[in-house]
Chain A
């Protein structure tokens, strides 16, 4: 057994305590009474053990998965880690996607393959802490030492074989002090981790249930598409929306920054109306083109200076002594990330706050960018996470969230902004454009004796849509 104690305490503050009352049951009393009246026992007395876990008296174990799910299966693997240490029956685990909550969760984002390494300990501790509280509750009830008890598959087990389910113990366990120093399993005792567990959303996906951002609909919600400049380095000159405004289903045409938003009652009506929109653009600085990229790539690769990342041995000597030198260049242009689900976000800017719903890899960035744009406190912005129909880094950006929020404010209505596939291909944030030069020195027998690799590209941080790539900075690396 090993003991880990360094996980942030804030993950384990019981919600009732966080609210200042010292109560462990986080449910609102009147809600719970109403639930009892309605016969919903589960809702009535569900006990929140920590930010990741609640248990109801009828043995439903709810595990909240905070990080955005885009197909990397975090919504399955995070709860598996909690359930492992809890010794829960996986079949009774219900997984719920948590909304953005910076008080409860740390690093609530998807990117850089860092979620499991980052959260491993805190997830294990969340499960282990609740398990210890359930054991303590059983020990109290049976009047035996907690150390004599064991757990398995959702039960606390007495040495005489008597069992109590986690549900039976949840209310008592929830009223006990939260242990600060809990024992974690030895990884060799893992039962769930290391086994093949099916994706928790599998059934919903194969039966077509609403899961993704584009599947979000709400009564009274408007639909919008945005016409953006056709090339980087263009800005809006004039808009003639006369024909569009009189088309069926069209509510408004709104211009902001370089965007012209067509707002309407259904997706097809705005798609159709968009074709009737007359927009003129003008040059704003240099228009970027692939031929510019080619020229800059060549200039930079031929420059003598470079940042040397690694140098082993006498490379220059190897090239001097080479019988043959082979030189090749490979390049990649700007490319759309092209997630299967086109970009979209729902936003409702209200007098007292902003509601955002949709697919994002970085909900906190979306929240802060929206708050900055609107000049309000980030606490006024809520972000609900849908499943993402792919991300590939495109959804690390907040541009498509912020534009939805800006539009909602301008039209004073709840709106879902949908990008067409053409929008996704023609604009937005692309993968960086790069060119690499490979040089190989071969001896007379054709054996590799020297090797050079040099690359140039658009700085990845700037390959994003920041005012449509107007000032791209180039980087040699």
Chain B
């Protein structure tokens, strides 16, 4: 792209400045309030998926490291956090929220560099929502008797939390905020491709003087995660990630006393009726599937359009896809950033290819993608059916599978015809229809005439193989308390 772009040929580059941020060369483990060298002695690199350049390196936590992290969390629980008056706990969580808000710009930039998501999203969605979660649960910390009237709510002890790479800081906030509010201490592991905002959060926790050991953040790959899950001195596991890993975790937790919540994959049905506000529905479909490069468990990846408007909707979708700007995640005008990792890109390419092999018709926008880094053009596949792989499997990328339907009963049956049940969306101008349809769709989150809306007050979680338990809202407190 040249710097001489006039308005007609395109927008001049408008990159967010990286002057404000500081990324250290390496991040050791954050245990007992300190950054400590890992006993494993090993580190691994984390790269910027838009450039493939190394950003920093983080430690590999081995069994000794995990043991130490759990032990320091246990001590902090016994000696400090469970004894602290709830209103004092609340103050700490408020403090996290406020300081995070103040440093929002810094966190947004690092999130986009480490994960590849556009700065527009990390700045306007990820970070503000993470802040909102801390504020929301800070409010609950000293009001638990109102959440559970007539009962006494106690913390469980040590929570092991394993979070994914699609919304790194936001998922950390979803997990940490309610756990702390309910009086638990934490051992948290960020995903191996996106550890940096969690390590920045560790620095922030030091800055606000959170008592040592209340939150421990350790890094590593799946191995480290399994060591947390299997640790005998952990009382609760919270996991967000793939259904495959969720099943392994569930098996290994069977027969233990540990409580758990799993927030897993999804393959949401996005249903467009012929009486919908079509132009707004098209925008909703775009947001539903191309938000965060489609790396969203609740992405609206299965589109069902009523036959009478199918031609119009698909033609408008293609038009709109051409206006999406793909490129440098730090550019404020970027709509679609980089795919999070090489591995994920391979997976997206493989399933998309299978869609074509099975007779699907592929449409991709004509945009050009940068030479280095991991990129995948916004993609729409039509001429597919329930039996197609692209309709059945979670792609976790910017790929939309389009089918048509004719009647209400048919679309409900198709929407539910999946092992998943995380989210769904319905577009119609008729209020009554919204209630009739949404009642019959088996999914934890349903949006009407909008999509991908999140709020800390609203519970989030799946039916069927999309997981168990709820995060967010009052519901999000349950997994972290023992009621008596």
A and B co-occur in one complex: no
Q: Which residues of B contact A (CB under 8 A)?
A: none
